[in-house]
Structure 1
Amino acid sequence: MTTATRQLKLGAFLMATGHHVAAWRHREVPANAGLDFKHYKHLAQVAEAAKFDALFIADSIAAATGDIASHMARSDYFEPLTLLSALSAVTDRIGLIATATTTYNEPYHVARKFASLDHLSSGRAGWNLVTSDAAAEALNFGRDSHVGHAERYARAREFHQVVTGLWDSWEDDAFIRDKASGQYYDPAKLHVLDHHGEHFKVRGPLNVARAPQGRPVVVQAGSSPVGLELAAETAEVVFTAQTSLAAAQAFYRDLKSRMTRFGRDPDALKIMPGAFVVVGDSTAHAVEKFEQFQDLVEPEVGVALLGRMLGNFDLSAYPLDQPLPDLPLTDSGQQSRQQLLTQLSRDENLSLAQLGRKIAGGRGHYSLIGTASDIADQMQAWFEGRGADGFNILVPHLPGGLEDVAHHVIPELQRRGLFRHDYTGTTLRDHLGLARPSFTAHR
């Protein structure tokens, strides 16, 4: 059973060579993809032709270094806003979502950059608000240690307040630009924020006119209790890692139910779990394709990735053939991801090396490995079962993995009436079914 009034939302997660940690070693993958604009241009145009809602670019502001990191393609790639600004000139409709941390940025910078991207793209910008889970970032910004979990989220909440206030510095029609009268803007429609808070003191106004979308779309990915509260209060899209339909449904109900306490309509938030997708002509073919990447995973690389995802733990001293050791709850990384991976290790009785190999592709996200029909079946079950409003699509390698989804999975979803055949609007808010926020004077 399908629905004519509710359709899947799909993001294309672009991680240079692909989401699999060993993708760069595969014969079909350009090893220098992280700094190849033509590569990204091709990916963006493939995704737009398939009518994806948005491109998504994650980010870290610390290079991966060390002996193990030297075997991973995670140290040379474009800054996301710079890249998406360039991609805005070679695309027309697809949304452009970039990550920017609230821990090692200032609100004025973030507000200005995303408002600029929204103008450059005629209303297609989205901000993935994160609090930084890479402890090494602290060392690049005058600190000896990472900011603690609770403080990061307190700062993030205020950061969001300042950014959205700055986005409302000007009313929609403030800039008259009347050559005859000589008046460039109407001073009555200028609003100075003059924010004084615990973490920030920002006068404003922003020196960018109000964005075409009113405000760029705000995306979040935190799934800890404090992260869920922030999302319920402020987010319009949530990316999350869920490993089963039951877990996804529980997360969906929990997050949507929290929104009413903030006076928000649950439909004003789209929940898009990550889906790691490998498409084949048959299930056996898809598994064979996936195993080509798994065979390229060096055990130490898988374990290093695991340690990073668990919360910046160094696991190199532990035996590879032993279970994951008991670890304290991370205060520097993603607590929700640590809990998910720890539970996965216990449920499947995996050794450290086995767990590192298991997460080398999907990194704890739900894996869909099969035919286009099989994959569409699972997406449909999650969507119609209220476990998801859509998916953030992760593929093992680029460009081939994205092309497989675009050419095989998307047509199957369209055939079922679950996904659009063409864009019906021009902005990211249009694609996602999100209302354009009215102007609000925040002072």
Structure 2
Amino acid sequence: MSAPRKQIILGAYLGGVNHHTAWWHPEAGSQIDFSTFEHTARTAERGKFDFFFLAEGLALRERAGQVFDQDIVGRPDTLPVLASLAAVTTHLGLAGTINATFNEPYELARQFATLDHLSGGRTAWNVVTSFDAFTGQNFRRGGFLDRSKRYERAAEMIDALRTLWDSWDDDDLVVDQATGRYLARADAGSFSVRGGQFDIHGRFTVPRSPQGRPVILQAGVSPEGRDFAARSADAIFSPYGKLPAAAEFYRDVKARAARAGRNPDDLKILPSASFVLGDTEAEAQERYEEVRGQQITGQTAQILLEQVWNRDLSGYDPDGPLPDVDPDPDAPPIIQGRAFVHQDRFATVARWREIADAKKLSLRELVIDQFERGPFVGTPAQVAEKIDDFVQNDGSDGLIIGSHLVPWGLDEFVDQVVPLLQERGSLRADYTGSTLRDNLGLPPLPRRSERRTEDAGAAV
């Protein structure tokens, strides 16, 4: 008897501060107007997606002291956008990226618990940390922390929020039969959190939310990041969109979750992905080449490489060879406000030179080749098959789908690919749960009395 097909988790990603979005395209919509967020969310819900995901931009990026003109300028605050979307959707999860370095536990716990109530239990928090002092300048205390301290604060932040969310039980809010007023039990909301980062105690004001507590999302590539996510997250964003690297990451993180005492199935692996469709495979490939050309202009290629070289590369021809100079890691950063993901500049440049020589690639062609998001290209049937094969072969548990064209690009996927995934039995025909936690297949949370018994048993 064959094993049941894995059900594909789908998230919808609204592109913003990155080079993937063709924001200058004549058909592109506003990145700030609510209609953009609403259209994407409604389309995702029509396609039975699990959640809508918003990234975060806390500072206007700069190049050599000037505002970056290769990114969208402006990103509305995440939580008000998600709260507004809660009013125009019914089943779709609402996932927001909020920085653990620049926020305090009590404030953040109240905001997410409130959103979870407003949405009927559909909230998720994507936990990120600060990566540079440049972004921290926007905040009262700066906020930049060394790598080890960032993870320490983030781990304590998650524990603190869970403590606050768990300070209420499902039946701690009761109705007084005589007056009809809601009353809280004597110890409801009591909390105390003490650690290296936080020392807070009091009474939490927001009762238990419909899904108990919001879903926790996290991204981690380094060993520390993988361990952190394996211990703390309900889902982790994977940077790998192709087999076999994706399957290796999948096995590694699931194994770390098991070593942390968790059921590996309770940690979902979700890489981001894009798509390009065509009536024929040749047409889809032609469209893909056109899209990549729009995304990676000569100036975009220059700026993406400048972050690694940390030099002004404007004097190099984008259609010529790679720069013949070495990186300058000791100079002041030429690109500010963009996360640096390459651990070793010199090793990265050496590898890129080998690839460019082997494939006969220009500077711009090298960027197109290396800054790939893992697109699924082909006819709708081919894309549905590729996605299904990727997930069934444990490349992931699902995908975060984005499009270069905001907000209309997702419509094509929902109209043409989603029905084929449903026909294959890999995507539900309708929502089966009432909360995001239900729809993701995450285990139910224990009641407070059960948690106390577990904690007492763990202490023995």
Q: Counterparts of 1:251-270 in structure 2 under 5 Å?
A: 251-270=249-268
Task: Return the letter of the residue paired with 1:153.
Answer: Y
Q: Percent of aligned positions with the same letter in both sequences?
A: 37
Partner of residue 52, structure 2: 55
Listed one character per residue, the Cα deviations across residues 404-433 of structure 1 (whole Å, up to 9, x for unaligned) are 111111112112111111111121111110
Task: Return the letter of the residue paired with 2:172.
Answer: A
Aligned-pair CA distance for 1:292: 3.3
Partner of residue 84, structure 2: 86
| Aligned mates of 2:363, 2:328 — CA distance in 1 | 13
Partner of residue 272, structure 2: 274
Partner of residue 24, structure 1: 23
Q: Counterparts of 1:202-221 in structure 2 under 5 Å?
A: 202-221=200-219
With normalisation by structure 1, the TM-score equals 0.88
Tell me if structure 2 keeps the 8 A contact 1:19–1:397: no
Q: Counterparts of 1:188-337 in structure 2 under 5 Å?
A: 188-296=186-294, 297-305=296-304, 314-317=310-313, 319=316, 321-322=321-322, 325=326
Task: Return the letter of the residue paired with 2:352.
Answer: S
Partner of residue 342, structure 1: 348
Listed one character per residue, the Cα deviations across residues 371-410 of structure 1 (whole Å, up to 9, x for unaligned) are 2222222222221111211111122112232111111111
Partner of residue 170, structure 1: 168
Aligned-pair CA distance for 1:20: 4.6
Aligned-pair CA distance for 1:262: 1.9
Change beyond 3 A, Cα 1:186–1:40: closer
| Aligned mates of 1:123, 1:285 — CA distance in 2 | 42
Aligned-pair CA distance for 1:215: 0.7
Query: Bigger radius of gyration, 1 or 2?
Result: 2
Task: Return the letter of the residue paired with 1:24.
Answer: W
Listed one character per residue, the Cα deviations across residues 194-226 of structure 1 (whole Å, up to 9, x for unaligned) are 111111112143211111111100000111111
Partner of residue 365, structure 1: 373
Tell me if structure 1 keeps the 8 A contact 2:164–2:191: yes
Listed one character per residue, the Cα deviations across residues 1-40 of structure 1 (whole Å, up to 9, x for unaligned) are 9864521101111125x9654511112112xx12111121
Change beyond 3 A, Cα 1:246–1:169: same
Partner of residue 37, structure 1: 34
With normalisation by structure 2, the TM-score equals 0.85
Partner of residue 118, structure 1: 116
Partner of residue 138, structure 1: 136
Candidates 361, 365, 376, aligned match of 1:354: 365
Change beyond 3 A, Cα 1:325–1:393: farther
RMSD: 3.1
Candidates 407, 412, 433, aligned match of 2:441: 433
Listed one character per residue, the Cα deviations across residues 34-61 of structure 1 (whole Å, up to 9, x for unaligned) are 2111121111111100100110100021
Candidates 381, 384, 400, aligned match of 1:376: 384
| Aligned mates of 1:196, 1:358 — CA distance in 2 | 48
Count of residue pairs brought into register by the alignment: 433
| Aligned mates of 2:340, 2:63 — CA distance in 1 | 24
Change beyond 3 A, Cα 1:290–1:111: same
Task: Return the letter of the residue paired with 2:312.
Answer: S
| Aligned mates of 2:338, 2:184 — CA distance in 1 | 46
Change beyond 3 A, Cα 1:346–1:54: farther
Aligned-pair CA distance for 1:135: 4.7
Tell me if structure 1 keeps the 8 A contact 2:93–2:123: yes
Tell me if structure 2 keeps the 8 A contact 1:196–1:202: yes
